[in-house]
Amino acid sequence: MTAPATGPALLVLDFDGVVCDGMEEFFESSWRGWQSLKIQELPLSRRSELHDRFARLRPVVEAGWEMVLLMGILASTAPTQDAALQDHEHWARTRDAFRRACGQPQETLFAALEGARDAWVASDRDGWLRCHRFYPGIADWLRRLVGQGPPVYILSTKHKRFLDDLISWQGVPLPDERVMGRATPRKAKWDVIREVAARHGLPTGGAGVWFVEDRLETLLEFRSAAADLGAARLFLAEWGYVFPRDVARAHTLGVASLALAAATGPFEGWPA
């Protein structure tokens, strides 16, 4: 269906932190994944403390393997060090140094996370689903868009089998090809968006493409690495896994920030 002149011709949404809040699942799967590596025992007495610290630092994470490592880092450091980890560069240095010290490649860490998820889904699928929540109004909004809006795609680094389960659970009838999960080899999100835009016959340059993401660093990388998509409109989801200062940075750097109430309303209400 043709999109309205004030709206997108193609809408692409990140999943975690834009469509769905999976914080409880992230923590539990990361806890189980780190335990499975048998590097360090996580005492049950520390679950509450580690949960709260993990949730506060979730915005630094880009890929699933980092969540498993974050669990190990938090278990090995004092809470007084957490504030420094909110700096993306400091996080990256700490993450990489800790991973080398543990001797665990990214692939092993990611396999630990996915193994924990798969085992959980196999033994208690309903319990796994209930550890997620779609943000208020998002599922209804997606159902409306599927019926009468522009083409909508979900683009995530999470494996498609998990995305499919969650989207089906919420009764959102997205066509299978419009739910795009982790690719092998991994592709940058802007490369995937470029391919999808071409599939829909959109002009080069990204005109008509709107992309919503909750990680400011990803949007900044998009802008610098995909200059050929300079006409695409990029939005930072304020309701996602975002540090408050990243919303302020977005304004300073010319990236539009989007509130949840605006996102689920008419496209005319989205920031210009």
pTM: 0.94
**Are 112 and 152 in the same domain?**
no
**Are 189 and 223 in the same domain?**
yes
Its domain, for residue 203, covers 10-21+133-269
**Are 63 and 33 in the same domain?**
yes
Interatomic CA distance for residues 264 and 16, integer angstroms: 16
**Are 50 and 158 in the same domain?**
no
**Are 201 and 221 in the same domain?**
yes
Q: What's the domain count of the chain?
A: 2
Determine, yes or no, domain membership for 94: yes
Q: E strands within the chain? A: 10-13, 20-21, 133-134, 152-155, 179-180, 209-213, 233-237, 256-258
**Are 246 and 118 in the same domain?**
no
**Are 114 and 154 in the same domain?**
no
Q: Considering 94, 111, 130, which residue would you say is the last residue of a domain?
A: 130
Q: Considering 130, 163, 185, which residue would you say is the last residue of a domain?
A: 130
Q: Taking a C-beta distance cutoff of 8 angstroms, is the pair 67, 157 a contact?
A: no
pLDDT tens, per residue, the chain with 272 residues: 334 448 999 999 999 999 999 999 999 999 999 999 999 999 999 999 999 999 999 999 999 999 999 999 999 999 999 999 999 999 999 999 999 999 999 999 999 999 999 999 999 999 999 999 999 999 999 999 998 889 999 999 999 999 999 999 999 999 999 999 988 778 999 999 999 999 999 999 999 999 999 999 999 999 999 999 999 999 999 999 999 999 999 999 999 999 999 999 999 999 98
Determine, yes or no, domain membership for 1: no
**Are 16 and 28 in the same domain?**
no
